[in-house]
Chains A and B, each alone.
Chain A
Amino acid sequence: AQSVTQPDIHITVSEGASLELRCNYSYGATPYLFWYVQSPGQGLQLLLKYFSGDTLVQGIKGFEAEFKRSQSSFNLRKPSVHWSDAAEYFCAVGGLEYGNKLVFGAGTILRVKS
């Protein structure tokens, strides 16, 4: 069965500092991996996705993520955080073998201090 673990419930970083949000997954076949962001009172916005190929993927808003099959990880990074990045971030896994359904992690709430 699919599952996603985001070990950090809350993370606080200073504005301008680098960020890494962790995501580990369990999936029985070739995973499709996603990061979504949810700002307060908003729906989910797709930040980036990995299907195949280059394991380092670039997304919107200056985010990137690296797929590491050996570690079953798909960590999200940003070199310099802006106050507007404060939100909740969800990692998700899906794929054709499970009808393209997504399983989400519990989410990580990012706080940015000035």
Chain B
Amino acid sequence: SAVISQKPSRDICQRGTSLTIQCQVDSQVTMMFWYRQQPGQSLTLIATANQGSEATYESGFVIDKFPISRPNLTFSTLTVSNMSPEDSSIYLCSVLGTYEQYFGPGTRLTVT
């Protein structure tokens, strides 16, 4: 399985600002995913990020709000833009193994 790290592990941000979350993997992977876990809720897929192509967003998520970069096979970033308190969540990245996904430790975001 891959070893995945995320930065920052947590942050408290003011509304209207943006935060970029980094996801680093210790091996090259084709597919990476970004999920949101709202307080007390399950995980919801935000987008799929493949290297060399635009991210594919799920219904209810748009690129202007959650721009994603995937510059190489071991790294991706998710930006949460123009934040509001409703964006307070844990954001997790994952990578595709054979068919399973392995998750990073998550970034806990609080928007005040």
Using a CB–CB distance below 8 Å, which chain B residues touch chain A?
1, 31, 33, 41-45, 48, 56, 58, 92, 94, 96, 98-106
Within 8 A of B (CB), among A25-58: 32, 34, 36, 42-46, 49, 51
A43 with B103: in contact, given A100-B96, A101-B48 (CB under 8 Å)? yes
Supply 24 A–B pairs (Cβ within 8 Å), ascending by A: A34-B101, A36-B103, A42-B105, A43-B103, A43-B105, A43-B106, A44-B43, A44-B94, A44-B103, A45-B103, A46-B101, A46-B102, A51-B98, A51-B99, A94-B99, A94-B101, A99-B48, A100-B96, A100-B101, A101-B33, A101-B58, A104-B42, A106-B41, A107-B42
Interface size class of A (residues with CB under 8 A): 20 to 34
B29 vs chain A, min Cβ distance (A):
12
- State A43–B104 Cα separation when bound (angstroms): 6
Partner of A46, one of B1, B45, B96: B1
- State A10–B103 Cα separation when bound (angstroms): 24
